[in-house]
Amino acid sequence: MLGIDHVGIAVADLDAAIAFYADAFGMRCVHQETNEEQGVREAMLAVGDGTGPRLQLLAPARPDSAIAKFLDRSGPGLQQLAYTVADVEAAADALRARGMRLLYDTPRRGTAGSRINFVHPKDAGGVLVELVEPVSLPDESS
């Protein structure tokens, strides 16, 4: 684990949530995309000077998505904690060797072309843990 990449929050309405976080907390939206495979519309918000972990707002793009199911069951709120890793396959293998269930056999596409996998929340103390291998690591992107 290299650090916290982002914290993900499930929301019903992405545009309304972006406006709320801007008005209430002064957070700036720095990236938006739709991830068809994950069935989400998402926004990344910079916190403070933008150098630290981001806040990710996740809204359902279709009714059978993981975010739609989460909203139905739990309502809006914290959905995931994501860590930056250098190599998502190596990190997943290490966690599997410690007895955790990874949701995917091979990494899938995450935000901005990152490679991602997840630890099942039941194996991680009730927290959905995402592993994120960015396209370029933060200290290489400047």
Q: How far is the CB of 85 from ligand CMX (least distance, A)?
A: 14
Tokens, residue 101: 């269930």
Cα–Cα dist 104/89, whole Å: 10
| Residue 110 in contact with ligand CMX, rule: CB under 6 A | yes
Of the two residues 35 and 84, which places its CB atom closer to ligand CMX in the complex?
A: 35
CB 77 within 8 A of CB 28: no
Of the two residues 28 and 101, which places its CB atom closer to ligand CMX in the complex?
A: 101
Residues 36-75 binding ligand CMX (CB under 6 A) are: 38, 40, 58, 66-67, 69-70
The strand ranges marked E within the chain are 3-10, 28-35, 40-46, 54-60, 77-84, 108-109, 115-119, 129-133
| Residue 122 in contact with ligand CMX, rule: CB under 6 A | yes
Sole binder of ligand CMX in the list 130, 131, 133, 134 (CB under 6 A): 130
In the chain, % helix, strand, coil (3-state, to 5) comes to 30, 35, 35
What residues line the site for ligand CMX (CB under 6 A)? 8, 35, 38, 40, 58, 66-67, 69-70, 79-80, 103, 110-111, 118, 120-122, 126, 128, 130
